[in-house]
Chains A and B, each alone.
Chain A
Amino acid sequence: MKDRLRITDYGLPITDYRLRITFCGLLLTLLFFTAGVVVAQTGEVTDDEVNAVAKDLFCPVCESTPLDVCPTKACADWRELIRTQLAEGKTRTEIHDYFARQYGDGVLADPPKRGFSLILWALPVIGVAIGGVLFVRYVRNLRREGDVVAATAVVPANPSPASAASVPQPATPLEASGDYVSRVEEELLARK
C-alpha cells in the first residue's frame, strides 16, 4: 500500500507514474489559468484583441484598407491607441465612438445610424415599402381587370336592381378604357 498516494501524503515521493502524470497535468492546467489571470491583470492586450476592434475601422490616409491589415505608420499608431484603450477597459463600442468623434464617421466600416448616414440605413426599408405598395396596387389592378372581363360575361340585358348592385365595377372609366373593352369584346366574339 506504500505506492498509493493519499491526501495526507503531502511531501512523500509519488511512486505511481499515473498519479505523477495526473499531478503534473493538474499543475500545468493551474499554471495556464494563473498565467491568463496575470496577463489580464497587467493589462496586456493581444494583437487578436486589437485587430478584432480594428477590422471595422478605416484610416482616412489609406482608403479602402481596414485598419487591422493596413501597413502604414499612421495605422500602426491607431492600433496602438486601440491597444491602450482596451487595456484601460474600454469596450469595442466605446473605442469606435471615440474614433468616430476624433476622426469622423468615415472611419467606421458601418455608417452610424445618425445624420446623413441614417438615409443609407433607411433606404432599403423605404425601397421595400414603396415596392410593396406598388406590388399591392399592381395586384389590385389585375383583379379589377379580371372583374371587368367577368362582368362582360354575366351582366344581364335588363339587370334587376339586386343583380346590378352585384356587378363588379371596372377600375377605370369606360371612356378611358375603350380600347381595352373593344379587345375584350373581340375576344369574346372570337370564342363564340
Chain B
Amino acid sequence: MTDTMKVSEIEPTELAPAMETTGKRGIRWTAVAMWAVALGVLALLGWGLIKANAPRPEVGEVAPNFTVEFFTGYEWQGESSVALDDLRGKVVVLNFWASWCVECRYEADVLENASRQYAPDEVVFLGVAYADVEPNSLAYMQEFGVSYPHAPDLGTRISNSYEITGVPETFVIGPDGKIVYVHIGPINQTTLNRVIAQAMEGGS
C-alpha cells in the first residue's frame, strides 16, 4: 500500500480539467430546463384551476361579459349576435332556462309579460337556454309565445362565467353593467318589477 495515495492528497488542480469535462455546465442547464418545465406546467394548471373555479359574480360586481348568437327568429333588434357590453346604458334581465326544466315553465309567462311591459331600448330581456337541445328550445318558446331575444348557451360558457346553480336563474344587470339582483328559482311579477325599477334608478 506504499505505492498508493489518499484521494485527499490528489492536487485539486489535477482534477479541475476533468471536472470541467464532466459537463457540469450542461447538468446545470438540464436542471434549469427541468425546473422551468415543471414550474410552467404547474403555472398552467394553477391558471386553469383558477379559471375553472372563478367565484360566482355577486350583486354590486360588474357582470361578466359574453357574446350570444341568437336562435333564428329570436334576435335582438335584427342582430344575430350581441355582446353584453353593447347593452350598456340599458337594464338587462338575463334569464337562464331549459325546456326540460319544470320550474322554468312557472315563470315563462311572467318574463314574457314583463318584456312587453318595458320599452326595448330601456330594458332588454335576454333568455339563455342552458344545456338544452335546440329543437326542444324552439318548441318551448313557441309553446309560451316568447317574443323577446333568446340564445343557446354555446359551450355552456355563459352559465359557467355566471356560476349558475341551476335553472331557472335570473340576473338583473343595471345600466352601468353591475349586477343589481340575482334570483334563484322561478321569479314572480312583483319581484321582477321591483328590481327592474331599482336597476333603472341605478341602485344596486
Binding site for B on A (CB under 8 A): 59-61, 72-74, 77-78, 80-81, 101-106, 116, 119, 122-123, 126, 130, 133-134, 137, 144, 148, 151-157, 164, 167, 169-175, 178, 181-182, 184-185, 192
A74 with B30: in contact, given A119-B41, A119-B48, A152-B7 (CB under 8 Å)? no
Task: Compute how far the CA of A119 lies from the CA of B6 in the bound complex, rounded to whole angstroms.
Answer: 52
**B7–A123 contact, CB under 8 A?**
no
- Tell me, in angstroms, the Cα distance from A184 to B6 when the chains sit together: 9
Determine whether the beta carbon of A106 is less than 8 Å from that of B156.
Answer: yes
Which of B6, B30, B99, B157 is in CB contact (< 8 Å) with A104? B157
Contact of B14 among A164, A178, A181 (CB under 8 A): A164
* A residues in contact with B38, CB < 8 Å: 126, 130
Closest CB in chain B relative to A168 CB, distance in Å = 9
Contact yes or no, B14 A152, CB < 8 A: no
Residues of B within 8 A of A (CB): 1-8, 10, 12, 14-15, 18-19, 22, 27, 30, 34, 37-38, 41, 44-45, 48, 51, 98-100, 131-133, 136, 152, 154-157, 159-160, 166
Alpha-carbon distance between A144 and B99 when the two chains are bound, in angstroms: 71
- Once the chains bind, are B4 and A156 in contact (CB under 8 Å)? yes
A101 to chain B, nearest CB (A): 7
> Would you call A81 and B133 a contact (CB within 8 A)?
yes
Query: What residues on B are CB-neighbors of A154 within 8 Å?
Result: 4
Q: Main SS of chain B's interface residues? A: helix
- B7 and A181 contacting across the interface, CB-CB below 8 Å: yes
Asked whether, in the complex, the Cβ of A73 is within 8 Å of the Cβ of B44, the reply is: no
Chain A residues whose CB sits within 8 angstroms of the CB of B10 once the complex forms: 151, 155, 167, 174
Q: List 14 A-B contacts (CB under 8 A).
A: A61-B166, A101-B154, A106-B156, A116-B51, A123-B41, A126-B37, A134-B34, A151-B7, A152-B6, A152-B7, A155-B10, A174-B7, A174-B12, A174-B15
B131 with A59: CB separation less than 8 A: yes
Query: Which A residues lie within 8 Å of B166 (CB)?
Result: 61
- Alpha-carbon distance between A152 and B159 when the two chains are bound, in angstroms: 71
A157 neighbours in B (Cβ, 8 Å)? 2-5
The distance in angstroms between the C-alpha atoms of A116 and B52, with both chains bound, is 11
Q: A103-B156, A130-B34, A157-B2 in contact; A185/B131 too (CB < 8 A)?
A: no
8 A-B pairs with the lowest CB-CB distances in the bound complex, closest first:
A169-B18, A73-B100, A104-B155, A104-B156, A74-B100, A152-B7, A116-B48, A77-B133
Docked complex Cα distance between A175 and B13 (Å) = 11
Q: Which of A130, A153, A171, A182 contacts B37 (CB 8 A)?
A: A130
Q: Complex Cα distance A159/B139, Å?
A: 96
Q: Nearest residue in A to B18 (C-beta to C-beta)?
A: A169
